[in-house]
Structure 1
Amino acid sequence: MTRSTLPARTGYVVKRYPRFSETFIVNEILAHEETGRQIDIFALRSVEESHFQDAISRVRAAVTRVPDRLRGTDEFWHLIQAARDLPGFASLAARFPEASGRDVAQAIAIALAVRDRGIEHLHAHFGTVAATVARIAAALAGVTWSVTLHAKDIYCHYAENQHLDLKLRDADAVVTVSDYNAAHLRRSHDGVRPVRIYNGIDLDRFAWQPPRAEAQEILAVGRLVEKKGFHILIEALRMLAAQGRPVRARIIGAGEEEADLRAQIASCGLGGSVRLCGPMPQAEVRAAMAGAALLACPCVIGEDGNRDGMPTVLLEAMALGLPCVGSDVTGIPELIRDGENGLVVEQGDAAALAVAMGRLLDDAGLRARFSRAGRDTVERDYDIRRNVPHLGEVFDRTAAARRAA
């Protein structure tokens, strides 16, 4: 292969790596590596979690933890000296007025690595700090860059201006994970033409099986934060219990709302039937899905505008054959087609959620039909080995255009 036909060596810029809740990034990197693309990972902040998914062990890419604090003025001066010959150094101050000193220092460090390693393209996940640093580093090093936008980075009302419009106009390519997001971005950012590429999963790791007819447990998986809507789920479970149903439910995950959710469970009289289990390895989550009757994913739009884009747990559950109930937030109705492969209810409507879950619990035949249809949907639209090559084409096309310029 000539240089022009080889996949462009690509640097992934992320805020933290690894993160328990961002398996979609790990899935993406693994799929790139299967195609022969060399990946370098640049992590901008320290790891904050103690639990990680087992797929991380299969990633070959080196992880560079970019220092986010310089030890005094001498270290800063050495960095500036090293950066003097970077192509974009002279115009740094004029082009990036929104950047902080920490952003610039990290971007210089990445740009130097780009030059030394022969990286041709940088890709950021999320349009916040990762996009800020990737944008500056790409300009400094004279390479192309792109960004995948998910949901929080599009809709959240941040205290500080994230300058998303500036980044999107500057990016060589903008990717997002749902048609809903793509339409919103076209409406809200003039001239932006996002490419929609669905997140995907490795279907080889999720063997389909029909749901057990006798299963009664309701399962939910995700961080214990407002946008996941677990407070709505608990209220719906209270309604089911009030009907005289024997309620059994597990919520797998950890987060800032744990104390509030525990208090809600107690006040609803559900202490003996609803469990908060904390985070679990992916193998244990899969085992829980195999024995459950349904997965509830009652996402809501938070008070700050934050919301989920396309929850990976839904892809995993549907691939395994677990019927799902979701809400009508962002891209979820693109995955769960109400009445065809699952049920969709209005976000925040606990009564509707209770009805939908009760319907599935009462109808084993409906669960079996949704199980097969859900797997077919994931195979068709969310296979990581089909979707990642489209993303790779974006990287290679932009890098090739820069080489030819």
Structure 2
Amino acid sequence: MTSNKKIVVVLKGYPRLSETFIAQELLGLERAGFDLTLISMRHPTDAKRHPVHDEIKAPVHYLPEYLYQEPLRVLRGLFRCRRLPGFGAALRAFLKDLRRDPTPNRVRRFGQAAVLCAEWPEGADWLHAHFIHTPASVARYASLMNGIPWTCSAHAKDIWTSPDWELAGKLSDTRWTVTCNQTGFDRLRGLANGKNHVHLSYHGLDLDRFGPFSGSHSARDGSDANDPVKIISVGRAVDKKGYDILLKALTLLPADLSWRFVHIGGGANLPQLKALADRLGIAGRVTWQGATDQTDVLELYRQADLFALACRITPDGDRDGLPNVLVEASSQRLVCVSTNISGIPELLQDGENGLVVPPEDPQALAVAIERLIRDPALRQRLGEAAERRVRSEFDHHVSIRQLKDLFENEWRAA
């Protein structure tokens, strides 16, 4: 079946360096024949773009990021939408939500939904939201206003920091929802009130873009001060990534080991992490690479000896799902050490294709890192097993086929 429907995709921000999995999916859907229009709730803040962003052909439209910045546009949107058949239902749903969540953000989502409906792309007859928190709020209100069906992709923070009542309400309205890890799937399925419309779909990886590494990782073992082991990590400097734990683990490594650590990514916590590295006395062995595009990240994977990511669950419930960077690194035979939360054990089995330790445990992480530094043969064995797993089970073409079938089965039924 070839789709003749135009899908409006609501995104929190676009483009974003930290959300390559979304860009990869958008490109995959375009290549599968879908006509997309992207609606972003925020303007981009990253100075760089990944090559995949330039390959996506879909037009991008930006909603008012804050309602007070474009008051006439918001008022015009509300004025035009008040005559839509579903405006009353959307308003009632919004007011019900507002009583439970009396915040400016809640008001913003309703105003953004009104602007979206008033400026609705010509010919669009489906609505899809990436993330089940704020983008799904905009999608839900817009769907109620204009009667366009909507679906949703849920990921990580959005699942675990949203209250049960809000998730249950959205799940009752979506035609289907997908998520990318088993723990998120279990939570959403439990809140779906018996509806069998929540699906598990791993993002996978564009294995053409992350082709096999034809070279070899080094046999460094930390014994040569002039040729230290290269440890890397890719991720935003935010609490759930656990970089403070990783830095503390590095300080626990034996003094006779030679190593360098490279962090790749931006994030609000960078100043604090740099200060922590200085206090711990390891600042001279740490490089803060900053935000880097995918082509350069691929080369850094190939130059490194091991990949570390100390994911944690924060006090507000925020956590990763299955970090795409672990899949990327594994595709290059780069051995990974991470923690046993969320979807990470769905990729990494301890001692089989990586090392997995408890979160919030610098000592356990240091032991795992030391083991990998001292044993290049172990790194090679685990890295090869990780690559085999990724190339056999995490091909993004599988997830694109799943999404294609979900969309087209829904349209066929309609």
Structure 1 residues 304 and 102: alpha-carbon distance in aligned structure 2, compared to 1, 3 A threshold: closer
2:231 matched to which residue of 1? 218
Task: State how 1:123-134 maps to structure 2 within 5 Å.
Answer: 123-134=128-139
- Residues 100-150 of structure 1, C-alpha deviation per residue, up to 9 Å, x if partnerless? 443233223323454x52222211111111000111212222222111111
- Residues 273-332 of structure 1, C-alpha deviation per residue, up to 9 Å, x if partnerless? 122221112222111111111100110111221111111111111112211111111000
Q: Report the alpha carbon displacement of residue 18 of structure 1 after superposing the two structures with TM.
A: 1.0
Task: State how 1:72-87 maps to structure 2 within 5 Å.
Answer: 75-76=73-74, 78-83=76-81, 86-87=84-85
Q: Contact 1:231/1:261 (CA < 8 Å) preserved in 2? A: yes
Q: Contact 2:320/2:342 (CA < 8 Å) preserved in 1? A: yes
1:106 matched to which residue of 2? 112
Q: Report the alpha carbon displacement of residue 372 of structure 1 after superposing the two structures with TM.
A: 2.1
Structure 1 residues 364 and 301: alpha-carbon distance in aligned structure 2, compared to 1, 3 A threshold: same
2:240 matched to which residue of 1? 227
Task: State how 1:154-233 maps to structure 2 within 5 Å.
Answer: 154-156=159-161, 163-191=166-194, 193=196, 194-209=198-213, 211-215=216-220, 216-233=229-246
> Structure 2 CA distance, aligned partners of 1:74 and 1:63?
21
Question: Quick one: which of 153, 156, 178 aligns to 1:151?
Answer: 156
Structure 2 residue identity aligned to 1:279: A
Task: State how 1:279-318 maps to structure 2 within 5 Å.
Answer: 279-318=291-330
Structure 1 residues 75 and 356: alpha-carbon distance in aligned structure 2, compared to 1, 3 A threshold: closer
1:247 matched to which residue of 2? 259
SS at match of 1:325: strand
Moved over 4 A (4+): 70-77
Q: Report the alpha carbon displacement of residue 79 of structure 1 after superposing the two structures with TM.
A: 2.8
Residues 331-340 or 5-14, more deviating: 5-14
Structure 1 residues 287 and 251: alpha-carbon distance in aligned structure 2, compared to 1, 3 A threshold: same
Structure 1 residue identity aligned to 2:14: Y
SS at match of 2:37: strand
Q: Contact 2:160/2:319 (CA < 8 Å) preserved in 1? A: yes
Q: Contact 1:20/1:51 (CA < 8 Å) preserved in 2? A: yes
1:58 matched to which residue of 2? 55
Q: Report the alpha carbon displacement of residue 38 of structure 1 after superposing the two structures with TM.
A: 0.8
Q: Aligned pair 1:383/2:395, yes or no?
A: yes
Q: Contact 1:11/1:122 (CA < 8 Å) preserved in 2? A: yes
Calculate the TM-score normalised by the size of structure 1.
Answer: 0.90
1:264 matched to which residue of 2? 276
1:89 matched to which residue of 2? 87
Structure 1 residues 157 and 79: alpha-carbon distance in aligned structure 2, compared to 1, 3 A threshold: closer
Structure 1 residue identity aligned to 2:341: V
SS at match of 1:287: helix
Structure 2 residue identity aligned to 1:197: S
> Structure 1 CA distance, aligned partners of 2:4 and 2:291?
36
- For structure 1, the residue ranges without an aligned partner over 5 or more in a row are none
Q: Report the alpha carbon displacement of residue 213 of structure 1 after superposing the two structures with TM.
A: 3.1
> Structure 1 CA distance, aligned partners of 2:375 and 2:217?
11
Q: Contact 1:157/1:304 (CA < 8 Å) preserved in 2? A: no
Q: Report the alpha carbon displacement of residue 162 of structure 1 after superposing the two structures with TM.
A: 7.8
Structure 1 residues 142 and 351: alpha-carbon distance in aligned structure 2, compared to 1, 3 A threshold: same
- Residues 357-384 of structure 1, C-alpha deviation per residue, up to 9 Å, x if partnerless? 1222222222222222212211222211
- For structure 2, the residue ranges without an aligned partner over 5 or more in a row are 99-105, 221-228
Q: Report the alpha carbon displacement of residue 73 of structure 1 after superposing the two structures with TM.
A: 7.1
SS at match of 1:205: coil
